[in-house]
Amino acid sequence: MRPWWWFVLFAPSPNGAYLSHPPPHSQTPTSIRSPHNQKKPPTAASASTGTANLLSPPFFPPKAREQGTRDDRARARAAAVRRGDREGAGRDRATGSEDSREAAMKYVLVTGGVVSGLGKGVTASSIGVLLKDCGVRVTSIKIDPYLNTDAGTMSPFEHGEVFVLDDGGEVDLDLGNYERFLDIKLTRDNNITMGKIYQSVIDKERRGDYLGKTVQVVPHITDEIQEWIERVAMNSVDGTEEPADVCVIELGGTIGEKIFLPHNNSGILDAGDIESMPFIEALGQFSYRVGPGNFCLVHVSLVPVLSVVGEQKTKPTQHSVRGLRGLGLIPDILACRSTQPLEEHVKVKLAQFCHVPIPNIINLHDVTNIWHIPLLLRDQKAHEAILKVLDLQCVGKVSREPKLAEWTDRASKCDRLKTPVRIAMVGKYTGLSDSYLSVLKALLHASVALNRKLVLDWVPSCDLEDSTAEETPDAYEKAWESLKGADGVVVPGGFGDRGVQGKILAAKYARENNVPYLGICLGMQIAVIEFARSIMKLHGANSTEFDPTTKTPCVIFMPEGSKTHMGATMRLGSRRTFFQVNNCKSAKLYGNVSYVDERHRHRYEVNPDMVPEFEKAGLSFVGRDESGRRMEIIELPTHRFFVGAQFHPEFKSRPGKPSPLFAGLIAAASGQLDHLLQRPCSVLSPAGRCTCSNGGPKLKVYPNGHVMKPLKGLVNGHYSTTGNSAIPI
């Protein structure tokens, strides 16, 4: 005698279909493994004939049943691809249907374990480089679990620099790594945050899209995450209209940590960051839904070495993988971070306890510069492991073996450089190298292109001020010693009045002593203020950001900005700058073009009403926006190299195509400026033709809308410091 609930859940309807799910004994192991042998989900008509949907168990969500037919078709096409049936698998793709696009896309998920800061972003970027050199088209997504909508309102002390995209997106700095490594252009949607997901779900709930259902983390948040990933993965990022073949996803946060339960001090839980859990659940569902052959999980973990015994320890990685598997994600490849190459017996042990084949255990040991990372992956055949998991080797997607000739030459050249060029970085956040990551990379790109070894001196701007001389004279003397010993000076962007006087003093020193100077955003504005005070004798000149009551406002708040809402209210994204003077240094560095497109992030600007007075005194505004009233580039014609830019040229610098303004600074600091001005394309473009700094001769112009680590010693093996990084915050 069967209980009553058996008839509700498993009794067949008059047409022979089950009202809810087939009885357990009807599912053979073969039907579980093969989607072709599974029974089709009930139609809407058959489901409405009984009460099964009202009593469905919670582990069979209604939405999953509704999507079953589509998922079965996608898995069937993936199976056809694995069998080599290209015609059958690609039949729907030719029609451009949504299902075919989902089946064609492959996903590589990069997670991290044990500790943060292992280099997941560089690893994900390097995987993209490797696949791209195999002939596979790649896009990238970064997932950040924090509740902020974006990184725009976050302090550099919290999360490093805010990277700005062409469309005005203020995103995590890892997207800068993706763009630099892969030479692609991403959008704000390529950075998924928990804040964006919750905001989207709540907006849908307010519109009534959920038809009165109780909105929950599962399935609504997890479904939103999966839909977002699928939608963004189909966007073209390389200037063509075609979507990529592989989407590399980096999951921020750490998996496999030990969380002590507050109600039971003796109990611990293997888990990741708490805010990461909805993403982990969503990605677990996603990996099952896209099916085998379409999803590859690369787990980056730490293999530490105890200095006392000198033995590489695998236990942290074992715990991390155990936690990952417990959350429903099974790693296909292990990328092990270590100081030295992994010993063979360590790989054997990891394979035994983590259930990962030895060929799929990749070692990422410390190298002299990060350009060696793609080469490490190539030498260990990481591309073969990834392509095998993704079933790309058997379908003709891969057209060649990765050579990475350009990366090999660049990494080797960087290691061989001997002649130094010393640059002083005068900033507010010099205690955190990630705060100016793009500036560091732009300086590195330019110095390598000009055959110079970059030596970077960190100079806290507040240490240059007179108040520091009284409070901490040693820091004051060291800061001025670094500034005076530099071949060139960079003053990057920033916010707030702390350290501003020190930046003004740095600009004054560079101007008076004919030292090459590059001011970015705020660095340009303080150069204008210093010029007004010293040359024009306007001693009260200031910015309304620092002194709202100043009688000589050289820098003012932009009228379209907002003083009440901080997020996404600045002038953001790619904007066009028109050169006003043809023979100026900046125009020559850009290849004598009439305009350039660069990325902006500011809410203050040079007062246009004072521009005639500045130009009469000798300060040239060589670049302006399309209206002619917003100042973009300044120069001192009589100076060796004194340039300020309201935009951020560092965001479009690439390893093979350095930013022209940074190249000009390095060239002036190393005595090569005249040669560079005569033949800028020979240095700034490997193909010998002039392009914009993002590698494209024509860029899209977006509308004007609203759209922690302490630095010690070497950074990636390239930068040295005089020890000024230990500053009070």
Instruction: From 395, 411, 427, give the residue that closes a domain.
Output: 411
Q: Are residues 389 and 488 in the same domain?
A: no
Q: Are residues 139 and 216 in the same domain?
A: yes
- Is 484 inside a domain boundary? yes
Q: Is 343 a catalytic residue?
A: no
E strand segments, 329-370: 333-338, 361-365
Q: Is 205 a catalytic residue?
A: no
Q: Are residues 402 and 437 in the same domain?
A: no
Q: Is 648 a catalytic residue?
A: yes
Q: Are residues 436 and 472 in the same domain?
A: yes
Output the pLDDT for position 510: 97
Residue type, 715: V
Output the pLDDT for position 688: 40
Q: Are residues 342 and 243 in the same domain?
A: yes
Among candidate residues 230, 299, 650, 692, the one labeled active-site is 650
Rounded Cα distance, 480 and 461, in Å: 10
Q: Are residues 522 and 657 in the same domain?
A: yes
Rounded Cα distance, 288 and 605, in Å: 51
Among candidate residues 247, 296, 354, 521, the one labeled active-site is 521
Rounded Cα distance, 120 and 122, in Å: 6
Tell me if residue 267 falls in helix, strand or coil.
coil
Helices (H), 488-610: 500-512, 522-534, 585-589
- Is 60 inside a domain boundary? no
Q: Are residues 433 and 370 in the same domain?
A: no
CATH number assigned to the domain comprising residue 588 = 3.40.50.880
- Is 69 inside a domain boundary? no
Q: Are residues 316 and 440 in the same domain?
A: no
How many domains in the chain? Answer: 2
Q: How many CB atoms lie within 10 A of CB 345?
A: 10
CATH number assigned to the domain comprising residue 212 = 3.40.50.300
Q: Against a cut of 0.85, is the pTM above it?
A: no
Among candidate residues 21, 299, 648, 718, the one labeled active-site is 648
Q: Are residues 430 and 402 in the same domain?
A: no
673 pLDDT band (50/70/90 cuts)?
very high
Q: Are residues 428 and 402 in the same domain?
A: no
Instruction: From 638, 654, 678, give the residue that closes a domain.
Output: 678
- For residue 319, what are the CA distances in angstroms to 49, 173, 356? 49, 29, 14
180 neighbors 659 (Cβ within 8 angstroms): no
- Is 727 inside a domain boundary? no
- Is 37 inside a domain boundary? no
- Tens digit of pLDDT for each residue in 322-371? 999 999 999 999 999 999 999 999 999 999 999 999 999 999 999 999 99
- As a whole number of Å, the end-to-end CA separation of the chain is 75
When mean pLDDT is compared over 45-54, 422-431, 564-573, the highest value belongs to: 422-431
- Is 74 inside a domain boundary? no
175 neighbors 186 (Cβ within 8 angstroms): yes
Rounded Cα distance, 304 and 391, in Å: 33
Rounded Cα distance, 376 and 387, in Å: 17
How does DSSP classify residue 13? P
677, exposed or middle or buried, with CB in 10 Å at 0-12, 13-18, 19+? middle
- Is 714 inside a domain boundary? no
Output the pLDDT for position 253: 87
- Is 115 inside a domain boundary? yes
- For residue 529, what are the CA distances in angstroms to 407, 509, 557, 601? 42, 14, 15, 19
- Tens digit of pLDDT for each residue in 159-184? 889 999 999 999 999 999 999 999 99
Output the pLDDT for position 258: 52
Q: How many CB atoms lie within 10 A of CB 700?
A: 12
Q: Are residues 474 and 513 in the same domain?
A: yes
When comparing pLDDT for 709 and 158, which is higher? 158
| Average pLDDT, rounded, for the chain | 81
Q: Which residue segment(s) compose the domain that 237 sits in?
A: 106-258+269-411
296 pLDDT band (50/70/90 cuts)?
very high
| Structure tokens given for 502 | 């020190």
Q: Are residues 397 and 529 in the same domain?
A: no
Tell me if residue 278 falls in helix, strand or coil.
helix
524 neighbors 531 (Cβ within 8 angstroms): no
pLDDT for residue 290 is more than 70: yes
